[in-house]
Each structure stands twice: as C-alpha cells, then as structure tokens.
Structure 1
C-alpha cells in the first residue's frame, strides 16, 4: 500500500508508529461458523471469511493451531494466519428475491478478490504518535463483537463503534451510522467492526466469546480511556473495514415500494443493528508483538508481504455446497427477515 494513496484517503500528512493496515482477499463465503456453531455444517447463516486456510467446520482452540495447520493466508502479511469473518449483505428486490452484494477492494488494493481491510492499532487511527504499549494476543485467543439478535438502536449501543458509512467516493469516512444507510450510496456501503481493547489477562476465550474482553471504563479506545480493573491488559485495536459494492443496486425503482432501504444481513436483519464479527488469532510466533512494538506505519520490515495474486490463490473448499449467488427466493438456510 503506497503512503500517498493512504494519505489521500485519510487526509494524513505524516507517518506514525505501531499501526498496521493491510488487505485480505476472500478466503471463502459459506454457511460455517466454527466459533459460535462449532461442528455445525451448515451453520444458521452465511459468512464471508478471510485469513488462513485452516478454516474449517470445527476449530477447537486446544487442538487447532491456525499457524501449524494453515499452508497459506489470504492476507497481505504472510505471518498472519488468523481468521476474521462477518455476515454477508444481501439486496432484497421489490419482487421479494435476494441477491448477494459483492465486496470490493479499496483504493490501492485493486484486483483483490473481495475481502476486507484489517487494522491493528496501539492508539487512535488518526493519532500520529501511536506510542502506547499494547500486549499482542496469545495463541488460542478468540473473540466476538456484536449480537446477531439485536434489532434496535438501544441494543446496538452495547457495542461501541460498529458502524456503517454511506460512501460518496473512495475517501468518504463520515458520517458513521449504527443502522443501514437509507439512501443509495454512490461508492458502496462500508461496514466497520471495531473490537474491544481490554483483556482480563487470563482467559483466551469465554462461553459467549465476549466476557474475557472489555471496552475502556469510559470513552473509547480512540479517546484513550483506561481499561477496567477486571480487564487490565491493553490489547491492540482491531478494525475491520468491508466495502459492500452496492452500486448496481442503487436504482430506486428496484427498492421496496414504500421507500425503505433494501439491504439485509444474511442473518435476517434488515435494520443493521445486528452487525457482528468474529476473530481467531493466528499470528506466527511473536510476529504481531514485534510489529506493534516497531516504529513504523502501515507495515513493518519485520513482516513479510505477498502479492495480491498470491493472496487470491489462498482459498478453502466449499464444504456446504449451496447456491448463494443466484437470485434467491429466500436467504441461504431459509433465514427469515425481521
């Protein structure tokens, strides 16, 4: 990723330290969720996944070493065999049929097959100092952000900064909303997933995949809030950016006759408040800690990169074998929209 491209997109004028930003190609899109529904083939709803190719139906943290079992990664840095995934957005046409909305790469990452952009930060994205100390995740660490069952703004406030951006152009980064945009977005819809940044320092996971991590006591990671005593260890901020290419669905003649917005998550949510993301840590050895400790911007000499063509080659087999891309009469799995 070239510095001038990033600067143009974010209005940055000088490099900072301890911030990684990198693209990941699509690893697979299928109805699997080894974190919430381990062993279930298929899982209840569709996900889009990036990262190491050891992704599978079951991935028990005690017996599944992402680094040892992966032979490639769809991410730019070859040391990152982690897996990251979110639900998938569908367009619901006026006639009641559904079409999967494709993902598109961001500027400077053209030719990437779908996927997402991933950030690891020690301070706020626009903090040019990036000098805070963070503790990298440990092998076996995993977490979930968001709740698939949420449908209201008040429920969504339980999770800070799970947002949408109606992109007017490639550089649009505001305003952010908690629910789906209500008007056509010329450059697509960006979904942002920011994970908690405080850890209890003991548990690599928890029954709901959330209790072992927390937000700062007050404010946000960006505002420098202190971690609570129950979760004293400051971990990197992970931000996932997914750009959903909604351009071909912007003809309002295709939208519902009542004028309501036409997009739904594969989990059946038409409000946008159920947005959620999963993370399974899989960085090789101490490569992430070294990268977070380095005084570099976007990438670091300690990490090896691969070409986009190499990223695109890293995929996993279709284990569910269902049609997800035709015009469908129902969401995959027959998920009801509400």
Structure 2
C-alpha cells in the first residue's frame, strides 16, 4: 500500500467502533493441523465486549497501562502515511522471539482469562479458545513515517516495556499511544479432534510457523483528520466518557455490515492439503 494513499477518503466503511478510524490492522490466520496432515482454518471470535462482532480483532490505543483508568499521559497521534510492524516471521526459537516484548498467547479457561501470558502457542487444550495479544513499541523517532524494516523508526521505552509514563530513549523521543491487538481464536471445535500422538499442540500459523514464536502484526495509520489526537488528549477508558472528546461511534451491527470483496480465488476454509500459498507446518528453524 502506497504511503500517500488517502484511506479515509477512499474507504466507504469501517469495521471499527470508532467511525473515524479507517486504519489497516493485520495479523496472520491460525490453522489446525490434523494427524493426517490436512489443515482447517480456526475461526475468530469477537472479544468479550464485542461478542456479536463477526470475528476480527480488538484494537486498543492507550496513553497509559491498560488498567489505568486515568489515561492522562500526553502522547502523540500517528500521522498520515505512518506504518509499523512488530515480530519476526522467521522466528522459530524462544531466543529469536525474545527481542520482541509483549507478543503473547493466553489459554482461555474462561472467556475473560487474561493470564498467564505465554510466548509460544499453548501446549494444552484451551476450554474457551486461544487469545493472541500483540503490543507495538511506543516511542517514535519523530521524523520517519516508515523505515526499510518497518520497525527501526519505533522503539520500546528505556524501561523495556510499555507502562504509565515510561521514558523514551533519546533516539526515539516522541511518546506515542500503545497500539495493542487482541485476537480470540475459536479453538473449541478442535478440542474433540485427535491431537498429535506425541502430545504436541496442533495449531500452526498460515505462513507455516507451528511454534508460535513468529507471531507478528502490521499497522497502517488511517484515522480521519485529527480525530485520534483529540481522543488521546481526553481521559477516555474503554469508551467511558469517550463521546465527550467528540469521538464518533457506530454499532456492532453497522461494523458487521462493512465487508471486503474476495480478492484471491482460493479455498481457505475447507480441509486443505497445504496452507494457503502452499506452505507446510514448520516446527524448527530451517536447516542449512
């Protein structure tokens, strides 16, 4: 996607609750791998506050830590053309994944379970599904809307993780909102199917990673006008008092009406002999 693209101007609808948000949010798709080597796509569920949503993911923009109801720190909104990436699509070991903080999995014993957070895919059956959480860095260099690797123009705070008023390094002095994705994968239908005989977990990302270490996400800013900055300048917590900031909302029913036409004529929902694009599950780093 070209950075000059006017997403609010060219879009006809949005799947977001905030109706001025036309940003692009992307993660890979999770698949179940059966003992016979075939694959089946794992559906997504609406998060706890959006149970009627047609799957998708939940996106948070936070001035401070997620459970800080004050949300009063000053942060800078992104600008048109801004994009960032987090994760490593090639990672297959814990050491490779460790450089990215706060890319985690939660085995949902209940739909509101939020701990413990794991770095690899859970190795047991999860009663209510698996949730992936992807938190982007929060410090910007203040100059570049993108970088060759789509990451180096952003940095984690000096303290290592996002927290209320966490200081940014001098190389990336501009504190931005914490962008966080939560995706709930409905693995329940697969709990009654035969898992691998060796006791390993059967889920694999659509690009072939069966470890979970290559969890990654993309973000392309697309809010209309100054809408995001106006919301971030106001103590808005889980939509409480957000309307007082001038934010515009739409119902879940209207969110569900916004769909995209199929671009590639490919079966992704049946039982497949290979993952989309011809990928196969990979459980360890590629050799030689």
**TM-score of the superposed pair, with normalisation by structure 2:** 0.94
1:279 aligns with 2:279: no
Determine which of 48, 52, 62 is the counterpart of 1:107.
48
Residue 247, structure 1, aligned to residue 191, structure 2: no
Q: Select 2:248's aligned residue among 304, 307, 310.
A: 304
1:121 alignment counterpart? 62
Query: Which ranges in structure 2 are unaligned for 5 or more consecutive residues?
Result: 283-288
How far residue 223 of structure 1 moved from its aligned partner, in angstroms, is 6.0
Partner of 1:265: 205
TM-aligned CA deviation for residue 257 of structure 1: 1.1
Choose which of 211, 217, 228 in structure 1 pairs with 2:152.
Answer: 211
1:202 alignment counterpart: 143
CA contact (8 A) 2:107 2:122 kept: yes
Report 1:145-164 matches (<5 A).
145-164=86-105
Aligned to 1:94: 35
Query: Aligned residue pairs: how many?
Result: 278
**Does structure 1 retain, via aligned residues, the 8 Å contact 2:69–2:237?**
no
Q: How far off is 1:336 after superposition?
A: 2.5
Deviation of 1:217 after TM superposition, in Å, equals 1.6
Q: Distance in 2 between matches of 1:130 and 1:77?
A: 18
TM-score (norm 1): 0.81
Structure 2 residue aligned with 1:225, among 166, 178, 198?
166
Shift of 1:124: 0.6
Q: 2:62 touches 2:178 (CA, 8 Å); kept in 1?
A: yes
Give the conservation status (yes or no) of the 8 Å contact 2:124–2:201. Answer: yes
2:150 and 2:49 map into 1 onto residues whose CA distance is 34
Q: How many Å apart are 1:67 and its aligned residue?
A: 0.9
Q: Does 1:292 align with 2:257?
A: no
Out of 112, 116, 135, which is 2:76 matched to?
Answer: 135
Residue 297 to residue 223, structure 1, CA distance change in 2 (3 Å): closer
Q: What is residue 109 of structure 2 aligned with on the other side? A: 168
Confirm or deny that 1:65 pairs with 2:19. Answer: no
Q: State the Cα deviation string for residues 101-127 of structure 1 (Å, max 9, x = none).
A: 000112231221110111000111122
Distance 2:66 2:163 in 1: 7
Specify the alignment match of 2:265 in structure 1.
321
Q: Is the 8 A contact 2:70 2:235 kept in 1?
A: no
How far apart are 1:224 and its partner, in Å? 4.2
Q: Distance in 2 between matches of 1:150 and 1:274?
A: 5
Q: Deviations over 1:57-102 (max 9, x none)?
A: xx2002x111111111011111000010100000001111100000
Stretches of structure 1 that go unaligned for 5 or more consecutive residues are 1-58
- Specify the alignment match of 2:123 in structure 1: 182
Aligned to 2:285: none
What SS does structure 1 have at the residue aligned with 2:114?
coil
Q: Structure 2 CA distance, aligned partners of 1:290 and 1:223?
A: 19
Residue equivalent to 2:280: 336
